Structure formats: structure tokens, C-alpha cells
Amino acid sequence: MAKKKKKAGEQLPLIDVGPKNLKEILAAVKIYLGHQGDRLASLKKEIAGKQHVLELVKAAKLVPLKDGVIRFECGGEIISIEPRDEVIRIKKAKKAKK
């Protein structure tokens, strides 16, 4: 069997030895994993919301611009839907200067 070559900068496996701040690292990892779970749950809601917006815009039968983008202003937001992968962009509309 061929011997495994050690990569430069790789830590050798040590028994019962770890970083001095292991408890802090583990606490940070638990917090991170909790936030990651929240983010994934939020992402599912975001995808469902995007799908709902797309369905409503399609039902409105708006005419796309020459470049295929559907763009309109609604409630102080500029909504733009690009046809390639139906990207939705929503940004605050700029108020007209007096």
C-alpha cells in the first residue's frame, strides 16, 4: 500500500489535542448552524413569495419591453422581471426632485 504524503501546512492527527479555544469555536459553530437553519427556512419562504409575485404579474398580462424585461412601478417600488430565469429585482423608486 502506498504511503500517504503529507501536504504542506497540514496538521497531523493528534489524540486528545485541539485548539486552546475549542469551547469558543464549538459555541460559535452552534450559533452559525442555528443561523444557517434560519436562513434555509427563510429561503423557502422567499422562493414561495417569488413564485407568487411571478404568478400575479403573469396574470396581469403586462407587455414586456423590447429587451424582454417587464418593468413597472408600484407602491414606491420599481419591479423588474427578466425573462432568462425570471429574476425579480425590486428597488426603491427615486423621488422626483422639487
Sign, Cα dihedral of 61, 80, 68, 85: negative
User: Average pLDDT of the chain?
Assistant: 81
Indicate yes or no: pTM above 0.85.
no
Q: How confident is the model over 76-94, as a mean pLDDT?
A: 77
The model's confidence at residue 32, banded by pLDDT at 50, 70 and 90, is confident
Rg over CA atoms, the chain: 25
Look at the block and give the residue holding cell 396574470. 59
The model's confidence at residue 93, banded by pLDDT at 50, 70 and 90, is confident
